[in-house]
Amino acid sequence: MTLQRQPLYARAEAELRARIARGDWKPGESLPTEPALAADLGISQGTLRRALDGLERQRLIERRQGIGTHVAEATSERELFHFFRAETLEGGRVTPTSLAHSFETGRADAQEVRALKLARGAKVHRLLRERRIHGCPMILELIALPETLFPGFTMPVAAEVTDELYVHYQRRFGITIVRVEEKLQAVTATAMIGKTLQREEGWPLLLIHRVAFDVMDRPVERRQSWLETTRIRYAVELR
Amino acid sequence: MTLQRQPLYARAEAELRARIARGDWKPGESLPTEPALAADLGISQGTLRRALDGLERQRLIERRQGIGTHVAEATSERELFHFFRAETLEGGRVTPTSLAHSFETGRADAQEVRALKLARGAKVHRLLRERRIHGCPMILELIALPETLFPGFTMPVAAEVTDELYVHYQRRFGITIVRVEEKLQAVTATAMIGKTLQREEGWPLLLIHRVAFDVMDRPVERRQSWLETTRIRYAVELR
DNA sequence: CAGTGGTCTAGACCACGGG
DNA sequence: CCGTGGTCTAGACCACTGA
């Protein structure tokens, strides 16, 4: 399949990941049964299961005894729980609403080129939006997406905004986010940002630079988020 | 071993984890060979290997072909890389020095009781220290440890301060940290904290509330860290 | 060389879900 | 009931390490 120095189960895992990325099975669809898939790949069921273990840990597939194995579907519920780490002071989950401020398409700046590994002069879509919790503006986000990966991406309309953006990426563009890298820092609000978040200039904000990666580990989204952390916290677990 | 509803490999994993926590094999020591350990537990080698996989993912053991399996030893290198997420603006690793400010032992306050699941009135050790990067004070930390788990803990002397505290926990008290939970927020510096970090009052700081858990998933350390994030970033990965 | 963990296979049996 | 994934076993062979 690929390099020979890799064990068989790893090559099988890579092959299956590529097939899913290519869309052989769409999100929500079932994979063949284990014996069938093992025969197809020319490996034993045990080796196949080891490959599937890897994909399952990555949450790319879901397996259920008695039912079968299917490609995982991004849902607002799951994406919010996994990649949106804001919570209340007591640790409770929080469901934000979104409000788009502006949308444009233009040439990527130096930071975007580096973060998204783009060619110089490549175009990106930029979305500026505000997220509210219980009606209070808490987060301001600037999101950049390569035009080549998200052709025809436009300002999300009301119906789409109720879902997580990552659900939209998967359904409309076949892009599944599997991991994100973030760099955090404390900053003070500029006059413009402070106004949006209803705080005076100089108020402390948590600024998060995020890069999101897809199934093939390509960087596909750059996002800057300014959080007003008086009534929410950002929760992280390291292990 | 324990509950019957759990699969054999999970029970074996729990049993081995308990044996390691109990100190049957100390950090750095070798476990028996796989055939021997499998026979000892009365399970097949395949099932044992599945149990060991879990312990290895948790970084509790290390396996090397041709050598054997041994209990992982906390080293400054590893702990810094894993649980200390500060890095330079370019993403480079950073090695801080530590300077203890004060040490005391007293009754746990309400927050400490809750975070560390202590009985009311239990005692904790408290260490206040400063961490410098290239000579500049960047982080102020207040660390609370249950007295019962860290009997006789005293102000770390110079020699110990060069190592990560978590290495000290393992070597002196047999406590291995395997995961931490953190809540982050942006705050402004008080006059006292600002002075330590050489910034004026009102300067934005990243405040991290951390609880660290040991092998048996007991909370064993509470830590509050104030980071001056002008020249460092806090890096996180979610997957 | 002997001994360790790593890979891969084949097959029996169990547990779950749905007709 | 059948078909699915989940568990467990036994054993062959490979790859690495150190004497």
| Residues A160-165, mean pLDDT to the nearest whole number | 70
Helix, strand, coil tally for chain B in percent (to 5):
30, 35, 35
Please state, for a pLDDT cut of 70, what percent of chain B lies above it. Answer: 95
Q: Distance in angstroms, CA of A47 to C1' of C9?
A: 8
- Tell me which DSSP letter residue B31 carries: P
In this prediction, what percent of chain A has a pLDDT beyond 70? Answer: 95
Give the integer Cα–Cα distance in Å for A86 and A81: 9
Q: How far apart are CA A78 and CA A60, in angstroms?
A: 12
pLDDT at B77: 87
**Other Cβ atoms closer than 10 A to A39:** 14
Asked if residue B2 has pLDDT above 50, the reply is no
Cβ proximity of A9 and A47 under 8 Å: yes
**pLDDT of residue A159 exceeding 50:** no
Q: How confident is the model at residue B159 (pLDDT cuts 50, 70, 90)?
A: very low
The residue ranges of DSSP E strands in chain A, in sequence order, are: 61-64, 68-71, 86-88, 97-107, 123-133, 136-146, 177-188, 204-214, 219-227, 232-238
Nearest CA in chain A to B84: A238
The answer to whether the C-beta of A147 is closer than 7 A to strand D is: no
Q: Is the CB of B64 under 7 A from strand C?
A: yes
Inspect the interface and report whether the beta carbons of B233 and A82 lie closer than 8 Å. Answer: no
Distance of CA B165 to the CA centre of its chain: 8
Domain boundaries, chain A: 8-71, 76-234
Which residues contact residue B195 at a Cβ distance below 8 angstroms, ignoring those fewer than 6 apart? none
Looking at beta carbons, which residues of chain A come within 8 Å of B185? 206, 229, 233-234
The answer on pLDDT for B127 being more than 80 is yes
How many angstroms separate the CA atoms of A73 and A25, rounded? 11
**A21 pLDDT more than 60:** yes
Tell me what the pLDDT averaged over chain A comes to: 93
Q: What integer pLDDT is reported at residue A5 of this predicted model?
A: 77
Contact yes or no for A190/A201 (Cβ under 8 A): yes
Phi, psi of A152 (to 5 degrees): 75, 10
B65 CA, C6 C1': Å apart: 7
Mean pLDDT of all residues in B117-135: 95
Distance in angstroms: CA B223, C1' D13: 50
pLDDT value for B157: 61
Are the beta carbons of B12 and B1 closer than 8 angstroms? yes
Is a pLDDT exceeding 90 seen at residue B170? yes
Lowest-confidence range among A157-166, A167-176, A213-222, B28-37? A157-166
Q: Tell me what the mean pLDDT of segment A44-73 comes to.
A: 97
CA B206 to chain centre: 20
**Mean pLDDT of all residues in B122-128:** 96
* Higher pLDDT pick, B80 / B49: B49
Taking the C1' atom of D2, which residue's CA lies nearest? A66
Instruction: Give CA–CA dist A47/A200, Å, rounded.
Output: 59
From chain A, pick out residues whose CB is under 8 angstroms from the CB of B83. Answer: 238
Residue B48 near residue B10, CB atoms below 8 Å? no
pLDDT tens across A38-55, in order?
999 999 999 999 999 999
What's the CA–C1' distance between B22 and D14, in Å? 35
pLDDT on residue B221: 98
Contact by Cβ (8 Å): B17, B55: yes
Backbone angles phi, psi at A97, to 5 degrees: -105, 160
Query: Is pLDDT of B128 > 70?
Result: yes
Enumerate residues 6+ apart whose C-beta is below 8 A from B38.
B44, B45, B47, B48
Q: Tell me: pLDDT of A158 over 90.
A: no
* pLDDT of B10 above 80: yes
Across the interface, do A236 and B184 touch by the CB < 8 Å criterion?
yes
Q: Which of B87, B184, B188 sits opposite A206 (nearest CB)?
A: B184
Top CATH class of A76-234 equals alpha beta
The per-residue pLDDT for range A185-195, each reduced to its tens digit, is: 999 999 999 99
Q: Looking at domain B8-71, which of 1.10.260.40, 1.10.10.10, 3.20.20.210, 3.30.930.10 is its CATH number?
A: 1.10.10.10
Provide the 3-class DSSP secondary structure of residue A113: helix
pLDDT of residue B164: 85
pLDDT of B161 over the 70 cut: no
Of B185, B202, B235, the CB nearest to A229: B185
Task: With cut-offs at 50, 70 and 90, classify the pLDDT of residue A3.
Answer: very low
Residue A2 predicted with pLDDT over 50: no
The predicted model scores a pTM of 0.94
SS3 B186: strand
Per-residue pLDDT reduced to its tens digit, B182-191? 999 999 999 9
Q: How far apart are CA B191 and CA A197, in angstroms?
A: 26
Question: Which of A60, A225, A236 is the mutation pick for testing B, counting most B CBs within 10 A?
Answer: A236
Q: Is the pLDDT of residue B1 over 50?
A: no
CB pairs under 8 A between A and B: 100
In the predicted structure, residue B166 carries a pLDDT above the cut 50: yes
Report pLDDT for A81: 87
3-state secondary structure of A165: helix
A98 vs chain B: nearest CA distance in angstroms? 21
What pLDDT does B4 receive? 59
Q: Which amino acid is at B202?
A: G
Whether the CB of A152 is less than 7 Å away from nucleic strand D comes out as no
- Contact at 8 Å (CB) between A72 and A17? no
| Token couple for B103 | 């040490």
Q: Provide, rounded to the nearest whole percent, the portion of chain A with pLDDT above 90.
A: 89
Instruction: Give pLDDT, residue B154.
Output: 84
Strand, helix or coil at A162? coil
Residue-wise burial string across A104-118, b where 16 or more C-beta atoms lie within 10 A, e elsewhere: eeeebeeebbebbeb
Q: Would you state the structure tokens that stand for residue A234, as one six-digit string? A: 């950002």
Confidence of residue B5 (pLDDT cuts 50, 70, 90): confident
pLDDT in tens, B55-74: 999 999 999 999 999 999 99
**Mean pLDDT (whole number) for A6-32:** 97
Domain pair B8-71 / B76-234, same fold: no
Task: Copy the structure tokens of residue A63.
Answer: 């397996």
Size of chain B, expressed as the number of residues it contains? 239
Q: Residue B108, Cβ neighbours under 10 Å: how many?
A: 22
The pLDDT confidence band at residue A162, using thresholds 50, 70 and 90, is low
Token readout for B14 is 């729990």
Cα distance between residue A209 and residue A217, in whole Å: 18
β-bridge pairing B61-64 and A232-238: unpaired
Backbone φ and ψ for B9, nearest 5 degrees, come out as: -65, -35
Using the predicted structure, report yes or no on whether residue B222 has a pLDDT greater than 70. Answer: yes
B53 CB neighbours strand D below 7 A = no
Q: What's the first-to-final CA gap in chain A, in angstroms? A: 32
Chain B residues in contact with A78 (beta carbon < 8 A): none
